[in-house]
Amino acid sequence: MKYDRINKELYLHNRKRFTSHMTKNSLAVFNSNDIYPISADSTMPFQQHRDILHLSGVDQEESILVIFPDSINPEHKEVLFLKETNEHIAVWEGEKLTKEAAFETSGIKTVYWLTQFDVIFKQMMSEAETIYLNTNEHLRANTEVETREDRFISTIKNLYPAHKVAKSAPIMHAIRSVKHEIEIELMQKACNITEAGFRRLLKFVKPGVWEYEIEAELMHEFLRNRSKGFAYTPIVGSGASACVLHYIENNLQCKDGDVILLDVGAEYGNYASDMTRCIPVNGKFNSRQRDIYNSVLHVKKEAEKMLVPGTLLPEYHKEVGKLMENELLKLKLIDQTDIKNQKAEWPAYKKYFMHGTSHFIGLDTHDVGFFQKPITAGMAFTCEPGIYIPEEGIGIRLEDDLIVQENGPAFNLMRNIPIEAEEIEDLMNE
C-alpha cells in the first residue's frame, strides 16, 4: 500500500459501533474481495471489500473477520484469519501481514492463519445462535459477479441450516454513513491531492491539448502524492462531450472556445474524493458559458445550505429542482409553458439537469447510506448540480465534497479548490 498506516483507533471505534447493533449470542463474518481475473494469468489490481476494511483496516486478499462479542472464549470475541506469509510469497508477491502487523493495523489481538478457519469457526458456531451475513444492498449495486462473500454465504447456509440468519448490510449502512474524525482527515487528504492535480491542470490546459493528456497530468500528480490514482473512472469531456454524463473515452482534442468538464477525484487510503470543475480551453469563458456557469454555481451554493441535520434527501432534491427551474428560466432554456405542461415525475428542468444533486461519499465514491432517513451530523455528501445543453455544445457541472455539521453549514472539504469563474480564469492566465 502507498498510504501511511491508519490509526487503529478508527477500527476499534467502528467494531464497537457494529457490535452495539448485534443481537444477543450472535456473530458476524466479513470476507475480503477476490483478486479478479481478466484472461490468461492477468488480474485486476486488488481492491479490498470496503466493509472488512472499515472494521479492521486489513487491506489484503484472503482475509476473514469474525466478530462474536458473546463468545465464551474471551480470545474469540474478535478474530482475524489471514493468509499465512512465507519466504516464497515474500519473493514473488511481497510480504503479507504478520500476526504482529495485523494487530498494529486493526487492534485485534487474536489472529489465526486461514488454514485454521474451518476448525475454529466450527467451535464458534457451536456457541452462536445467529450469524450476520454480509450482502451488497447498495441501491445501484450490480451483483451479477459472484464474490468471495457470496460463496461463503452459500457454504454457511448449507453447513449450518439451523442457525438464525441476520443481515449486516443495514448496520454497515448506518455506521459507514457517519464518519469518524480519522475518516474525515483521510477524505480531506484525498481532496487535497485532487486540489494539487487540478491546480496543475490550470497551468497545462490550452487549445490543442488532448483529453487523455489532461488525464495523464492528473494521474502523475495523484501518484506522486501517495494515492493509488483515481477514486473512479475519470471524466474529461470537452465541448459537446461534457453533455454525456458518464463520458470516459477522454480521447478528443480540446478546441479553442470549448469548455472542459472534469469529473475527477483522487483516492487516499481507499477513501474517495469526487470533484467536478469546468474550465475554458483558452482560459476565458465567453458570456454564454459564464452565465450558465454562474447559474450552476448559484444552485450549488444554495443547495449546500440545505445539507443540515434533519433534511430528507428526497425533499432536498425537490427543492434543488426548484432552484434549477428558476435558473433555466433566466437562461431562456425553458419557459412558463414548459412548466405548465410538465409532468410530476419528470419536471421541465430535467431536460437540462437530469441527475440527482447529492450522494453519500466515503470508502466508496457512491457510498452506502439511507436515502429515506433524515441527514445527521457526520455524514458526507457530494453536491453537484449541472446544466447540459447538447444543442449548444455546453455542459457545466460543479461538485464539492461536504461533511454535515451539528450546527451551521456543511464543512466543505474542497473549500480551497478554485471554483469561481474569475479565479479559474486568473490562474489559467498567470
- At 174-213, the pLDDT tens digits run 999 999 999 999 999 999 999 999 999 999 999 999 999 9
How does residue 153 score in pLDDT terms, banded at 50, 70 and 90?
very high
pTM attached to this predicted model: 0.96
Whether 49 has a pLDDT exceeding 70, the answer reads yes
Indicate the helix (H) or strand (E) that contains 112.
strand 110-113
**pLDDT above 70 covers what percent of the chain?**
99
Q: What is the pLDDT of residue 330?
A: 98
Mean pLDDT of 275-304: 98
Is residue 78 within 8 A of residue 52, CB to CB? The reply is no
Whether 90 has a pLDDT exceeding 70, the answer reads no
Count Cβ atoms below 10 Å from residue 302 Cβ, excluding itself.
18
Mean pLDDT of 149-161: 97
Whether 143 has a pLDDT exceeding 90, the answer reads no
Considering only 84-98, 99-113, 340-354, 360-374, which range has the smallest mean pLDDT? 84-98
How does residue 91 score in pLDDT terms, banded at 50, 70 and 90?
low
In 3-state terms, what secondary structure has residue 33? Answer: coil
Closest by Cα among 120, 396, 363, 121 to 245? 396
Domains of the chain: 9-176 (3.40.350.10), 181-428 (3.90.230.10)
- At 416-429, the pLDDT tens digits run 999 999 999 999 99
Closest by Cα among 211, 215, 301 to 265? 215
Cα–Cα dist 82/94, whole Å:
15
Is residue 380 within 8 A of residue 154, CB to CB? The reply is no
Put the strands of the sheet holding 259-264 in their side by side order: 235-238, 259-264, 275-280
**pLDDT above 90 covers what percent of the chain?**
94
Indicate the helix (H) or strand (E) that contains 382.
strand 380-383
Closest by Cα among 356, 291, 354, 349 to 322? 349
Mean pLDDT of 71-100: 87
- Average model confidence (pLDDT) for the chain? 96
Set of cell numbers at residue 200: 496543475
Residue 151 to residues 134, 147, 370, 394: CA-CA distances in angstroms? 11, 6, 27, 47
Set of cell numbers at residue 318: 425537490
Set of cell numbers at residue 193: 491531492
How does residue 86 score in pLDDT terms, banded at 50, 70 and 90?
confident
